[in-house]
């Protein structure tokens, strides 16, 4: 029988809530450019790479041609500067989701490794601002892989660095793209939040506060 040895965590929307900072920074960029942008459209960006978000903002949401590659790079860099300015002015308690620290502490007490698998290039910065560094065995982010979610690469890399076998890990996600990536990797998965309530995750909980160590163990150990 397999034994749970590691949990692979998406970061934003699972352990921290920096999505509203992403929304605000995209909204600031949209205002700079005279583009329409709504909260609902911002929700569609969950789990997407920055470049894909910018393309959707222009072509899907505003029916405008995408700027040149050089302009796109400047725009995504500007959006990221807005985001980092907002992030660095946050209190850790504003970022950490209720129940996140308790679950990480419980996993550590049980000898189970927690590994971040985030598609964000800012993951380590977010973790520092949320003061969560002591809880993680390792952090894998966008800088460590080529293909982003829904490709399985980031979770496969996280599983590799965890030191656990594929049947000894569980992943946890709040976005459909993340659930698809975990499925593609062949891992058991837990979905949290409203955006994955209709996904094919093995287990769905309303939030991280409702997830327990036993939930993860049951998926692996039966």
The one catalytic residue in 10, 27, 153, 174 is: 10
Does the annotation count 141 as an active-site position?
no
Annotation says 10 is catalytic = yes
In the predicted model, residues of the chain with pLDDT beneath 70 are: none
Q: What is the pLDDT of residue 91?
A: 92
Convert 163-202 to b/e letters by CB count within 10 Å (16 or more is b). Answer: ebeeebbbbbbbbbbbbbbbbebebbbbbbbebbeebebb
Residues of the chain with CATH 3.40.50.1000: 6-17+93-221
Listed in order, the ranges of the chain carrying CATH 1.10.150.240 are 19-87
Contact criterion met (CB below 8 Å) for 125 and 84: yes
pLDDT at 192: 97
Closest of 175, 171, 123, 166 to residue 144, by C-alpha: 123
6-17+93-221: which CATH topology?
A: Rossmann fold (3.40.50)
Predicted TM-score (pTM) of this structure = 0.83
Among the listed residues 12, 153, 174, 202, the single catalytic one is: 12
In the prediction, which pLDDT does 59 show?
96
CATH fold group of domain 19-87: DNA polymerase; domain 1 (1.10.150)
- pLDDT of 44: 83
Place of tokens 């309303």: 206
* Cα–Cα–Cα angle for 138, 140, 141, rounded to 5 degrees: 145
Residue 22 confidence (pLDDT): 87
């Amino acid at each position: 029988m397999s034994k749970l040895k590691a949990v692979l965590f998406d970061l934003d929307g699972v352990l921290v809530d920096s999505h509203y900072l992403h929304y605000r920074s995209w909204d600031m960029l949209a205002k700079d450019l005279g583009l329409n942008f709504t909260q609902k459209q911002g929700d569609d960006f969950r789990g997407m790479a920055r470049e894909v978000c910018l393309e959707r903002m222009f072509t899907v949401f505003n029916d405008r041609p995408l700027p040149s590659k050089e302009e796109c790079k400047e725009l995504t860099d500007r959006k990221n500067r807005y985001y980092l300015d907002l992030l660095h002015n946050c209190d850790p308690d504003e970022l950490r989701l209720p129940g996140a620290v308790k679950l990480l502490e419980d996993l550590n007490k049980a000898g189970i490794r927690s590994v971040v698998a985030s598609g964000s290039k800012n993951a380590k910065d977010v973790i520092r601002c949320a003061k969560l560094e002591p809880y993680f065995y390792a952090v894998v982010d966008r800088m460590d892989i080529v293909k982003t979610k829904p490709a399985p690469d980031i979770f496969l890399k996280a599983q590799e660095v965890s030191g656990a076998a594929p049947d000894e890990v569980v992943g946890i996600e709040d976005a459909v793209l993340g659930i698809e990536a975990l499925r593609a990797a062949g891992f058991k998965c837990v979905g949290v939040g409203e955006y994955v309530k209709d996904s094919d995750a093995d287990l769905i909980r309303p939030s991280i506060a409702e997830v327990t160590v036993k939930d993860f163990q049951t998926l692996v150990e039966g």
